[in-house]
Structure 1
Amino acid sequence: MNEITYEKLQYNELKQIIRSYCISGLGKQLMDKLKPSSNINIVKSRLNETTEAVAVLNTNSRVPFLGVSNIENIMQNLEKGIILQPDDLVNVSDFLRGCRKIKNYMLDKEFIAPVIASYANSMTTFQSVEEEIDFSIKGNRIDSAASKELKRIRNNLHAVESRMEERLNRFLKSSANKKYIQEAFISKKDDRYTIPIKAAYKHHIDGVIVDTSSKGSTVFIEPAAVSKLNNELAVLKAEEQMEEYQILATLSGMILENISELKINMELIGQYDMVFAKAKFSKQMEGIEPKLNDHGFIKLVNCKHPLLPGEAVPLNFEIGEDFRSLIITGPNAGGKTVVLKTIGLLTLSVMSGFHITANKETEISLFENIFVDIGDNQSIENALSTFSSHMQNIASILQHVNSHSLLLFDELGSGTEPNEGAALAISILEEFYHTGCITVATTHYGEIKRFSEMHPDFMNAAMQFNSETLEPLYKLILGRSGESNALWISQKMNMKEQVLRRAKGYMNNKEYDLERIDNRKIRKPKSVKQKSDIFTGYEKGDRVKLLEYDDFGIIYKEMDSNKNVTVFYNKELMEVNVKRVSLEVKGKDLYPAGYDLDSLFEDYSSRKMQHDLERGSKKALRNIEKEIRKGKK
C-alpha cells in the first residue's frame, strides 16, 4: 500500500474517526500505527477481536479504562535513571490499578470473548506496588507516614515553626515595638520569617535585614529572637528533602524492577483500547464481520461507504469469479467514483480489522496492493497536465502490480483526444489483465464499452439514472452499459429540438450537413450612424469637456482660423482643437449678467492683491516694490 491510496480512498480519515473512540493515549498510539494486512490469518484474527469486543459491549457493562493513561514517557525516564516525582508515581499507580481491573473484567468475559479474554492472562498485577505508592503519596505529595524518619523530621519542623510563630507574635504585640512596626503581620522572605519595620527605625531592632520594599520605606527584619530557630528550621528542611528523595528512589526502584512486565501490560492495554474502539464504531454503524478470501473474489451485498450518511444507497457489486475486469459507465455525478471509493475503502477497512456495514453474504478479498487513479492529479510544480499526471501515475503502477493487486481507475484515458485516449485505455486494461490484476475502471468512451462487451473476461456495468428528473439513482447494474445522457440533459435544459435531432442523427451515422450558406442572405446590414455637426460657437466662460483628459475646463478665447479654442485648465491656458472638446454648459447659463469673466482666469492671490491695492494697503504696496526690485536685479 502507499499513502496515495490511503489519501484517495479516505482511509486515514476513517482511522481518525475510529481513533476518537479510544480512551487512552496507548490505544490512540496503536491506532496511528495500524496498517492494513494482506495476511489472511492476521486479518481473521483482527476481525474476530472486533467481533468478540462487540459481544462484550452488548453485555451493557463498561470496560474499566478510567484512569489508564500512557506512561511510556515515565518508563523512559526510569530507564534513564531519573527518580520519579510524586505526580509520576500517582500516574503509575493509576495505571497499575487500571490493569488489575481490566484483567479481572476480561477474565470474567472468557465465555463470550474467549480470544481477547485470554490476552488478560499475560497481564501482570502489581497490587503491592500499587498499595505502597498509595500509602506513601497522597495528594501528589509524600505523606508523613511514608517513613518513621520523615514523620520525626516533620514533627520537629512543626514544633520549631510553632515556637518561631509564638516569639514573632510576642514581638508584634510588644508595646515597645509598636512604633517601629510598619504593619503587624509575619512575612516569609526566602524561607525566613520576618517582620516589616519602618526604614527609619531599622537600626533600633536587633536582627538581620532580609529584604527591603520597592519604595524603600519598609525593611523586613528577622528578629534576633528567631534567628537561631530559623537556622534550625533550614537544617530540618534539608533533612526532609533527603528523606523524601530516599522514599521516591525506593518507589522508583520497585517499579524499575518490574519494567519488562509493565511494558507488556502497556501493550495489552493499548491493544484492548484499540479493539474496543473498533467495536464501538461497529456498533454505531451496525457493522458485520464479512467472509474472507485471498484469491480476488469480491462480493458486496448492500454495502455502504463508512463515511457517507446513513441514507446513502447501498452498493451491490461482484468481481473475480466470472470476470476479472469491470468497466463502469454512466452519467456524470451518477456515483461511479463513489463506487470505486466504496470498493477500495471497504477492502482496506476489512484488512485493518474494521467491521463494515453490509449483508452477511458479503465477501472481501485481501490484496497485497491496492492502486488507485482517482481525481485530478495535475501538478503545477512539475508542469504536468491532468492527462500527463494520470499517465505518470499509471506508468508507476504498471511497474509494481502483480496478480494480487486491486486496481481502481476513474475516467481511464480521459483528458486527451478521444480516439487516442480510448485506444490507450484499452491497451492499459489489457496489460493489467495479463498481469492477473482485479481491475475496476470508469469511462465515458464508447470504444472501451465495446471492447468490454467483446472480451470474455471483462464485464460492463452501468449507473442507473432517472432520465426524466435528471437525478442519479446511485445503483450499479452489472451486465449493462450506461449512457452519458448528454442529449437527455440538453433536452431538459431547453435545447432546440432541431439541434437534438441533428445530434441523434450524427450518433447513428457520420453524414454531416456540409451545405454552404451565403452569409449575405442571413446577415442584416448595420445602420450607419451619421456624424453630428461639430459645434464651433464657443464663447468666453463656456464650460467644456476635454475629451482627451476626460475632465472639464473653461473657454478663455473663441475659435481661431485653425479651429482651435483656448481653454483654461488646471490653472493654465492651452490651445485645443474644437474636435477634442464638447460643450457642457454655456457661460451665460452659468454666470449672472454683468459678471466679470476675467476673474475666472485669475488665481486667488492675484485677486486679493488687486483688492488690497484698491483699499490702499501699505503691505500690498511694499510687496509690489519688492517684486519690482527683484525684477531689476
Structure 2
Amino acid sequence: MNKYYKILEFDKIIALVKQYARLPQTQSNLENIKIYNEIEEIQKALDEVDEATILIQRMGSFPLLFHTDISFYLNKVHKYGVLTEEELLEVGNLLDSIKENYLYLDKLDSAEIKVEHFNHKVLSMTYFKDLNLKIKKIITPFGEIKDDASSLLKDLRRKQKDIETSIQKKLQEILNKNQKKLTQNIVSIRNDRFVIPVRVEYKNTFSGIIHDQSASGETVFIEPTIINSLQNQLNQIREEEKQEIYRILKQISLEINNYYDDLMHAYQIFVELDTIFAKAKYAIKIGAQKPQVNNEGIVDLVNCRHPLLNVDNVVSNNINIGTYKGIIITGPNTGGKTVLLKTIGLLAIMVKAGMLIPCDESSNIMIFDNVFADIGDEQSIDQNLSTFSSHLKNIIQIINNVTNESLVLLDELGSGTDPSEGTSLAISIFDYLIKKDCLVIATSHYSELKIYAYNSNDVINASVEFDEKTLKPTYKLLMGVPGMSNAL
C-alpha cells in the first residue's frame, strides 16, 4: 500500500473490512487490495458489492462451508501428493459449498431477487456430485475415515475390535484377581500397548514387560505375557489399517486431481465472493451507498461522512466542486479542515477499490488516476525546519508524479516556516499544480491564500463553519466563503 493511502488511513479501512472476511486467502488479498483505474471495472466492482448488500439484508450471506486455503490441497494432489483426512474433508466441504450455492440461487429465484453478478459467478462453477458422494463414502463429517470406506478396511477394523475385546477380557480377569497389588483397578495404554498399573513392590509377581513407570516411582505399567501375542497381532492389524487408509486417500487424491482446473476455479470464485461480501458487510455497517462515477472531473458528494469517525453524531457535508480546479479551505483549528480533507481523499480511494462510500447514492465522484496527500496530524507551534523540509520533500514528489487526472490534498500548505515565505511558497505550489490541470484541495490559515483564491477563476474559497455564539465549530463546509482562524 502506497504511503499516500496510509496517510489517508485507507489501511485502517482495510483492517475493518478484513474482519468480515471468512477465508484466509481473502484476508491476504485485502492486504494487497486491487485498485482500479478503468471506470468500467470500477462500476462493475461497485455493482457487485451493492448487489451483495441487498442479498445480505434480504437472504443472509452466501453459503461457505470450508474455512481453509483449498488451493494448497488442490496443488498438493496436482503434484501427486496424498491428502490427509482433514484436507479431504475440506475438499468435500468445497463441493458442498458449490451445491449449497446452487440451492441458494433457487431461493433467490423464488423470492424474485435479481442478482446478475452473483448468479454469473455461481453458475460458472461446476458441481461434481459423483466425486462428492465418493468423498462422503470415505470420510465422516468429523474428518475420520469410515469403516466401510473399503471392504478390507472394514474387515481389519472388525478384527481389531475383536482382538481388543479379547485383550480387555483377559486383563479384566487379571485386575479382578490382583486388586491389592494394583495402584488402580483400570487398564491403561503405554507405547500403544495395553498395560496394568502395578505397585512397584509387586512388580516381580507379574510375568510380563514393563513399559513405563510413574513420576512418583510407586507404579510400574506392565504388559502381562498372556496378552503379548494378542498385542502383536493387534499392532500388525493397526499397521495394515494405516496402509489401507493411505491407499484409500491416495486413490481419492488421484481422482480429485482429475477435477483440478474446475475445483481451483470454484475456489477462486469463493474467494472473490468472500471479498465482495466482506466489502458489503462493512458498507452496511457504516451506512455506505453506491455513488455514480465519472471521468469528467465531477466531484459532487452529498451528505458524505468520514468512515472512521467514532462519534455519536457525525456531521455530514456536501462537497460540490463544480468546474473549479482548486479549493482553499480555511477556518479555526479543530474545526474539521483536516478531517474534511481526509474524507475526500479516502472516499476517492475507496471507490477505486470497488467499495461503497458513506454518502447519498445521488453522489457523483471522479475516478482519479492517483490520490496524493501531504497531511500532518501533529499540529503545534514548535514545528522545526526538519518538519518543514519533510513536507517540502513530499510535495516535490507529488509535483513530479501528478497528472491532469490526479487528486492532490495538502494540509496547512506553506506552514512550518516564516509566514511571508510560506505564503509565497504556498501560492507558487498551488499555481503550479493548477497549471498541471489536476484537482488541488488545500487547507490554510494564510489570508493571502484566501485573496489568491478570490482573484482566481480556477480556485474557490471554502471554510468550515464557526458558531460565534457558542464559540464552537459546527464542522459544516461552506463553499465560496473564506473562514477565520478564530485563534483568539
TM-score, normalised relative to structure 2: 0.89
Highest Rg: 1 or 2? 1
CA distance in 1, matches of 2:273, 2:180: 72
Matches within 5 A, 1:196-595: 196=197, 205-211=206-212, 220-308=221-309, 309=311, 311-319=313-321, 321-375=322-376, 385-486=386-487, 489=488
Question: Given the superposition, is the C-alpha separation of residues 440 and 253 from structure 1 closer, same or farther in structure 2, using an over 3 Å criterion?
Answer: same
Q: Evaluate the alpha carbon distance shift between residue 275 and residue 106 of structure 1 in structure 2; reply closer, same or farther with a 3 A threshold.
A: farther
| Closer/same/farther in 2, CA of residues 331 and 147 from structure 1, 3 Å limit | same
Contact 2:98–2:122 (Cα < 8 Å) also in 1: no
CA drift of 1:153 comes to: 1.1
Hey, what's the Cα distance between the residues in 1 that align with 2:15 and 2:158? 54
Distance 2:223 2:336 in 1: 84
Residue 394 of structure 1: CA displacement? 0.5
Change in Cα spacing, 1:153 to 1:483, as seen in structure 2 (3 Å) is: same
- 1:113 matched to which residue of 2? 115
User: What is the deviation of 1:76?
Assistant: 4.3
Write the letter of the residue equivalent to 2:3. Answer: I
CA deviations over 1:290-323 (Å, ceiling 9, x no partner)? 111113221122212222246222211222x432
Match of 2:35?
36
Q: What residue in structure 2 maps to residue 523 of structure 1?
A: none
Q: CA deviation at 1:69?
A: 4.1
Encode CA deviations 1:435-474: one digit per residue, 9 max, x unaligned.
1111111111111211221122121112221123211122
**In structure 1, what is the equivalent of residue 85 of structure 2?**
86
Q: Deviations over 1:225-274 (max 9, x none)?
A: 32222222222122111111111212222323222222211111111122
1:166 is aligned to 169
2:124 to 122, 125, 143: 122
Deviations 1:341-386 (A, max 9, x none): 11111111111222223233311001111111111589xxxx9622
Distance 1:420 1:142, change over 3 A: same
- Counterpart in 2 of 1:594? none
> AA paired with 2:100?
K
8 A Cα contact 2:331 2:483, kept in partner? yes
Structure 2 CA distance for partners of 1:260 and 1:217, relative to 1, 3 Å: same
Q: Which amino acid aligns with 2:253?
A: S
Q: Is the 8 A contact 1:340 1:440 kept in 2?
A: yes
> How far apart are residue 222 of structure 1 and its match?
3.6
Partner Cα separation in structure 1 for residue 469 and residue 198 of structure 2: 96
Fraction of identical pairs, as percent: 35
Q: Specify whether residues 107 and 27 from structure 1 end up closer, same or farther in structure 2 by C-alpha distance, changes over 3 A only.
A: farther
Aligned residue type for 1:49: E
Distance 1:195 1:331 in 2: 83
Give the drift of 1:168: 3.4
Superposition pairs for residues 6-25 of structure 1, below 5 Å? 6-25=5-24
Contact 1:27–1:269 (8 Å) recurs in 2: no
Q: Deviations over 1:145-185 (max 9, x none)?
A: 111101111111222222333333444555xx788777655
Give the drift of 1:224.
3.6
Aligned to 2:154: 151
One-letter amino acid matched to 1:441: A
Q: Which residue of 2 aligns with 1:134?
A: 136
| Closer/same/farther in 2, CA of residues 289 and 204 from structure 1, 3 Å limit | closer
> Normalization by structure 1: what TM-score?
0.70
CA drift of 1:207 comes to 4.2
The structure, 1 or 2, with the larger RCO (C-alpha pairs under 8 Å, 6+ apart) is 2
The residue type paired with residue 74 of structure 1 is Y
CA contact (8 A) 2:83 2:249 kept: yes
Secondary structure of the equivalent of 1:132? helix
- Which residue of 1 is the match for residue 190 of structure 2? 189
Residue type at the aligned position of 1:51: D
**Contact 2:385 2:416 (C-alpha < 8 Å) held by counterparts:** no
Q: Equivalent residue of 1:385, what SS?
A: helix
Distance 2:189 2:67 in 1: 40
C-alpha RMSD over aligned residues: 2.7
State the distance in 2 between where 1:287 and 1:278 align.
10
Contact 1:26 1:269 in 2 (8 A): no
Describe the SS at the equivalent of 1:429: helix
Structure 2: give runs of 5+ residues left out of the alignment: none
Count of residues in Structure 1 that have an aligned counterpart in Structure 2: 479
Instruction: Report the CA distance shift for 1:243/1:332 in structure 2 as closer, same or farther (over 3 A).
Output: same
8 A contact 1:413–1:424 mirrored in 2: yes
Q: What residue number does 1:57 align with?
A: 56
